[in-house]
Amino acid sequence: MPSTTLEFDAILFDMDGTLVDSTAGVVGAWEVFKETYPQIDVTQVLSSSHGIRTVENLRRFCGVEDPEEQEREAKRFEQAIVENSTKNGRRGIVALPGVREIIDELEVAPKSPHIRWAVCTSATRSYATAALKKAGIPLPDAFVVSEDVQKGKPEPDPYLLGAKLCGVDPRRCLVVEDAPAGVRSGRAAGCRTLGLLTSHTREQVEAAKPDFLVKDLSSVTMKNTEKGVEVTVDMD
């Protein structure tokens, strides 16, 4: 199996589908919302909503146009994810393979003038905080959520802000993403991109043109160095 090793100043992670698996709760939340918005085709929504801000999905699939209502409904939706993640025997919100080992390493980084890792998610701060805690992942010092940007993925704004919060040049960052929209966001920000096959087909992720593509983070090793993070990717 061929491998590639590169060094970056910081790693910018997406959350859902990258660090955590919240599929069980998301399915339950859309089923709850179908009671209010009967026009929803849950299967269609699940196939095309991942990686997009909740407010934008509500506009697209539910016809919610008023900004204040979008914010209220986004909070209700993301609360429904948490509440439904363990109902009816569902597995809950859990860390994906390889995540704990990587985060444990990044958390003990030596003193540095910049932050080594960030989470840049399309979720709200309330939900993202709850999801990371449920999965047992520490909250990052650099944390970009839906409310922090005017334009979400696939626009570059989330990852440009993530690099800024880390105090580094985005061209020296690696974006880790499972959604095509997120890969495109990272590329637009000037970052190198690592695509994961945790939520979309290989063809869908390849179409976004990530620099590297693996099954999940169990195929990736990250080690702290004096200047940054050494990343080894074992190609599938």
pLDDT at 231 exceeding the cut of 80: yes
Domain carrying residue 8:
3-19+96-234
Q: What is the pLDDT of residue 46?
A: 78
Which residues are part of the catalytic machinery?
Answer: 14, 16
Q: What is the mean pLDDT of the chain?
A: 91
Pair (49, 119) in one structural domain: no
**Range 99-116 average pLDDT:** 92
pLDDT at 233 exceeding the cut of 80: yes
pLDDT band at 89 (very low <50, low <70, confident <90, very high): low
pLDDT at 90 exceeding the cut of 80: no
Residue where a domain terminates, one of 34, 50, 84: 84
Q: What is the pLDDT of residue 177?
A: 98
Q: What is the pLDDT of residues 146-173, one digit of tens each?
A: 999 999 999 999 999 999 999 999 999 9
For the record, the structure tokens of 216 come out as 């999940």
pLDDT at 144 exceeding the cut of 80: yes
Place of tokens 């997120």: 182
**What percent of the chain lies above the pLDDT cut of 70?**
97
Pair (224, 137) in one structural domain: yes
Q: What is the pLDDT of residues 10-67, one digit of tens each?
A: 999 999 999 999 888 888 888 889 999 999 888 888 777 766 778 888 888 999 899 8
3-state SS of the chain is CCEEEEEECEEEECCECCCEECHHHHHHHHHHHHHHCCCCCHHHHHHHCCCCCHHHHHHHHHCCCCHHHHHHHHHHHHHHHHHHCCHHHCCCCEECCCHHHHHHHHHCCCCCCCCCEEEECCCCHHHHHHHHHHHCCCCCCEEECHHHCCCCCCCCHHHHHHHHHHCCCHHHEEEEECCHHHHHHHHHCCCEEEEECCCCCHHHHHHCCCCEEECCHHHEEEEECCCCEEEEEECC
> Would 177 be classed as within a structural domain?
yes
Q: What is the pLDDT of residues 182-220, one digit of tens each?
A: 999 999 999 999 999 998 899 999 999 999 999 999 999
Q: What is the pLDDT of residue 163?
A: 98
Q: What is the pLDDT of residue 112?
A: 82
* Radius of gyration in angstroms for the set of CA atoms belonging to the chain, rounded to a whole number: 17
The total of structural domains in the chain comes to: 2
Pair (196, 223) in one structural domain: yes
User: CATH number for the domain including 114?
Assistant: 3.40.50.1000
